[in-house]
Chain A
Amino acid sequence: MIIDTQLASLLTAGALIVIGIFAAVFLDNLIKKVIGLAFIGDGANLFLIAMGYKPGGIVYIYLPGMARDFFAQNAAYPLPFALVLTSIVIGASTMAVMLGIIMVLYKKRGSLKASEILGE
């Protein structure tokens, strides 16, 4: 392969963020907007994960019988992964709140168009 896995993941993350921002700005349907916003969060998470990745490394779980030096030199960096766990949950809960507001707004206004509901 021409580019390595880490760089490719970073590029994928960037692409996800760009797709998400595009959707959030230009799509008019509110549900589509929310889907796009979820992609922005996914992109940021993938970025963090790719930061912690170590080419040719092993999973950061210390199994019995593993040599300590081998583990220390080859394990991936676990800190970003611990952060992503929190971030995924935050993203999901934010999205749930947004969808809830959208449902209420639909009941009040009878439309899902951002240009109608969220205009002036």
Chain B
Amino acid sequence: MNLYDLIVKRIKEAQKADSDGLVTNVSTSSMLTAEITLISSLLVALIMLRLVSNVLMIVAVLVVLFAAILAMPLMPRLKRELNDSLFNMTFYVVLALAIVIVLFYWGSLNV
């Protein structure tokens, strides 16, 4: 069994929950691309932490890299999480509200 088949199998397993049609070549490759894009751009973005501290940057990159590899098919999970149901949307909106307020209040007074 080569690598591609393995990946297809993993994606099929992850997509079992939302039986949204069949798993085709195109959908597999786009899922793969999205996965790699997500992880690599997150890692590159984390390098910007060097402005705060170098050690923190190295630790954060390593932690995120290992976490991403362990939780590998991230994209199907993300897609399921960011779906169109109103409850999820309001939940994330309220969460974002809390984060924004806390960051502004705490961050501006302490940075």
Report chain A residues within 8 Å CB of B91: 25
Q: Residues of A at under 8 Å CB distance from B?
A: 21, 24-25, 114-115, 118-120
| Segment at the interface with A among B3-11, B26-34, B50-58, B80-88 | B80-88
Nearest CB of chain A from residue B21's CB, rounded to whole Å: 15
Q: Residues of B at under 8 Å CB distance from A?
A: 83-87, 90-91, 94
The 5 closest A-B pairs by CB, nearest first: A118-B86, A119-B85, A25-B90, A120-B85, A114-B86
Report whether over half of chain B's contact residues are helix, strand or loop; otherwise say mixed: helix
Report chain B residues within 8 Å CB of A119: 85-86
Nearest CB of chain B from residue A74's CB, rounded to whole Å: 34
Report chain B residues within 8 Å CB of A120: 83-85
Asked if A115 contacts B94 (CB within 8 A), the reply is: no
Nearest CB of chain B from residue A105's CB, rounded to whole Å: 12
> Within the assembled complex, what's the spacing in Å between the Cα atoms of A118 and B90?
12
> Within the assembled complex, what's the spacing in Å between the Cα atoms of A119 and B84?
7
Asked if B84 contacts A115 (CB within 8 A), the reply is: no
Report chain B residues within 8 Å CB of A114: 86-87
17 A-B pairs with CB atoms under 8 Å apart are A21-B94, A24-B90, A25-B87, A25-B90, A25-B91, A25-B94, A114-B86, A114-B87, A115-B85, A115-B87, A118-B85, A118-B86, A119-B85, A119-B86, A120-B83, A120-B84, A120-B85
